[in-house]
Amino acid sequence: MEWERTEGYYKPLVHVADERDEGRMLRDVLRSRVGISRRLWTKLKASEEGVTVNGNAVFSSFILSAGDIVALRMAEESSDDILPQPMALDIVHEDDDLLVLNKPAGVIVHPTTGHYANTLANGVVHYWRERGERCRFRPVNRLDEDTSGLVIVAKHPYAQQQLSAQMTAGTVLKQYRAYAYGRPPADEGEVNAPIGRVPEDPHRRAVREDGQPSLTYYSLSEAYPCGASALDIRLGTGRTHQIRVHMGAVGCPLVGDAYYADPAWMRTPLAAALSGAIGRQALHAAQLAFRHPVTGAETKLEAPLPADLRELERVLRELPPRLDVQ
């Protein structure tokens, strides 16, 4: 049976009961088999068409039989508090459940105090309205303003719930490309060090004993003769500024990162040679791999290096050797 959107609702989520569901109550099956949270279950029950079995409205205590068709219809929502603005969007993937974009550097993901316009959210809301879609902007992951790369936006509460659960469980592969001063301690390794706020600057993070557990994996992709490195980095946790803080902690601060600049590196010939080579931290969210929140299909997406990082690569390869003397 083909299921389409009906007026005021997203495309239904459908679960066909099997022998594992035989004789069980509807609410128990939806929680254990479909993964419906209590919050979403409350929303579904509030709508006449929210939950049906074989096309009929039923109570949560309804006893299922194998072959019963359970349809869940979530009411459409929209981000009416976000100003729609036309914006060029680099869409990597889109379906009924999620939108994945390649965010350019210099763009904030979501409006914040003092930044109500020109964010990724403003552009996405405008894009959806132009297409006649009513969706609330639900970013599943976020990137710093000056980090480029992949951002997942869930189109409905269930997609957000399922993807967020994967994020929490650490089953989403998040891989970055970074360009850093120096060489890491080994060609492959990890940084397992807690990260917390710096009391004097609440926006700044640092490795601190009282911080949250934080884990970063890295591998050396290319060692440039000038003394810089290209690194492939995978996150084990998702703390604010994690890569920037952890790479600085092992002596490899990111090229172009003025906020976390290491004074010793800034005095080297390498830093002088790279002055003006890039206007932001050299960090790009290059790959995401996750289980699709509705179909369960393994999904892997990639975003190519933007022009400024490709140009930085060219410069690093052409610089003379041993400019890293501190």
| CB contact at 8 A, 166 and 290 | yes
* CA 38 to centroid of chain Cα atoms: 24
Model pLDDT for residues 185-194, shown as the tens digit of each residue:
999 999 999 9
Going from the C-alpha of 59 to that of each of 52, 53, 85, 183, the distances in angstroms are 9, 10, 43, 62
Model pLDDT for residues 221-268, shown as the tens digit of each residue:
999 999 999 999 999 999 999 999 999 999 999 999 999 999 999 999
Q: What average pLDDT does the segment 269-292 reach?
A: 96
* Residue 97 annotated in active site: no
Better-scored residue on pLDDT, 93 or 78: 93
Residue 49's pLDDT is: 80
| CB contact at 8 A, 142 and 109 | yes
Catalytic one of 68, 144, 146, 324: 144
Q: Which two tokens stand for residue 68?
A: 């019963």
User: Does the global pTM surpass 0.85?
Assistant: yes
How far is the C-alpha of 102 from the C-alpha of 66, rounded, in Å?
A: 43
Model pLDDT for residues 206-230, shown as the tens digit of each residue:
999 999 999 999 999 999 999 999 9
Going from the C-alpha of 224 to that of each of 46, 168, 220, the distances in angstroms are 60, 36, 11
Residue 2's pLDDT is: 45
Going from the C-alpha of 277 to that of each of 254, 259, 307, 314, the distances in angstroms are 13, 16, 12, 10
Pairing of strands 148-154, 283-291: parallel
In the chain, the domains with their CATH numbers are: 13-72 (3.10.290), 91-169 (3.30.2350.10), 173-318 (3.30.2350.10)
